[in-house]
Amino acid sequence: MGYKVAILGATGAVGREILKYLEEVNFPVDDLKLLASEKSAGKYMEFKGEKIKVEKVEEDSFKGIDIALFSAGASRSKKWAPIAVKSGAIVIDNSSAFRMEKDVPLVVPEVNEKDLKWHKGIIANPNCSTIQMVVALKPIYDLSPIRKIVVSTYQAVSGAGLNAIKELVDQTEFIIDIYKAYKDKLEDFKYIPYKNLPYVKEILKPGKIPYQIAFNCVPHIDVFMDENYTKEEWKMVKETKKIMHDDNISVCATCVRVPVFIGHSESIYIETQDPLKLEEIYLALEKAPGVKLYKDPRTYPTPVDVEGENKVLVGRVRRDLDNDRAYTLWVVGDNLRKGAAQNAVQIAESLIKLNLI
């Protein structure tokens, strides 16, 4: 027996990956509805060799739907999730709309699958940078509670949607073209005056990313909030505590956008309650279902290696030289897959496994 599934935001970066992943894992889909805005209505997308027409989301779009996978942004989730739930669907939401609500479980199946038991119709998928971090840290937490996390992220532009990918392509093309004109004088590259060209401000003007992203790093993801932390940084703080059921973990995050298409990387420093042996940590990570460990500490994963990968890649695991309860890791995840689409579909699989649907 299969399920009637709807994807809201099917045409977006995450929606496309959901479609791909459902097909890849042969999720039991009886019927599939693809929903987006008016702009995409009438377009066709392919699922298991069949062309399916994208529809504009409307009041009656969720009638008869069992599982609604949402990835169309927080304001759309706030509007359509209650309507979908009223129609009888379980909503698995990729946006930040409901993540911190008390009666909405925030779930990473490898970490807190049991929280699905108390859902009331809406289940939230955590932020991409939080998901890959907790998948990597939970096996260590189970050895000894983690008391402190200091994390710096290196996040791909696809985390900001399809338009941000285009922004990186356009800006890169533009700058490369200028450098090509100077290719015989590259030793003077420092002085190539592209920033002074009259049309440069137009091409390099911020769009989805608040600063030039080509050949740059931007320590600003989402809006600035309390204490001069960005919303992305606050998400990592609050979501980690909620998923791990531990308000005593101190989390300090710095989130940085980098000119990478797919794959978020994180440099993570942790302090545990008790001292651990590195061998214990390696063993726990090796056994963890969602982790692929690069055990040789001189090998490491990069975003190039993670595209299309279902596991979170962990490398460069080391101890702090001056603190016997502190360790550092390098963690890379496919932000569109485990960071969004895959985690959402895994939640649906867990609901089936736990007879919650």
Interface contacts to ligand NAP, rule CB under 6 A = 9-15, 36-37, 39-40, 57, 71-74, 76, 94-95, 128, 158-159, 161-163, 335-336, 339-340
**Residues present in the chain in total:** 357
The CA angle 251-252-258, to the nearest 5 degrees, is 125
Q: Which is nearer to ligand NAP, 71 or 171 (CB)?
A: 71
Dist. CA 164–CA 245, nearest whole Å: 34
Nearer to ligand NAP, 128 or 270 (CB): 128
Distance CA 161, CA 191 (A): 33
Active-site positions read 128, 264
Quick one: 96 or 272, whose CB is closer to ligand NAP? 96
Contact assessment for residue 117 and residue 356, using Cβ atoms and an 8 Å cutoff: yes
Q: Which token pair is 227?
A: 């204490």
Q: Which is nearer to ligand NAP, 14 or 284 (CB)?
A: 14
DSSP code, position 226: G
Handedness of CA 335, 341, 342, 347 (dihedral sign): positive
Which one, 161 or 210, has the nearer CB to ligand NAP?
Answer: 161
Q: Write down the residue that tokens 């060799």 correspond to.
A: 49
Following CA atoms 339, 341, 345, 346 in sequence, which dihedral angle do they give, to the nearest 10 degrees?
-20
Helix (H, G, I), strand (E, B) or coil at 242: helix
Question: H-helix or E-strand containing 272?
Answer: strand 264-272
Sheet containing 146-155, strands listed edge to edge, beginning at the edge strand earlier in sequence: 250-257, 146-155, 264-272, 326-333, 312-319, 291-293
Q: Which is nearer to ligand NAP, 110 or 270 (CB)?
A: 110
Residue nearest to ligand NAP (CB): 12
Q: Which residues contact 327 (CB under 8 A, 6 or more apart)?
A: 140, 269, 270, 272, 276, 278, 281, 317, 318, 319, 320
Write out the two tokens for 32. Answer: 């599939």
Minimum gap (Å) between residue 125 Cβ and ligand NAP: 7
Instruction: Specify the pairing of strand 3-8 against strand 44-47.
Output: unpaired
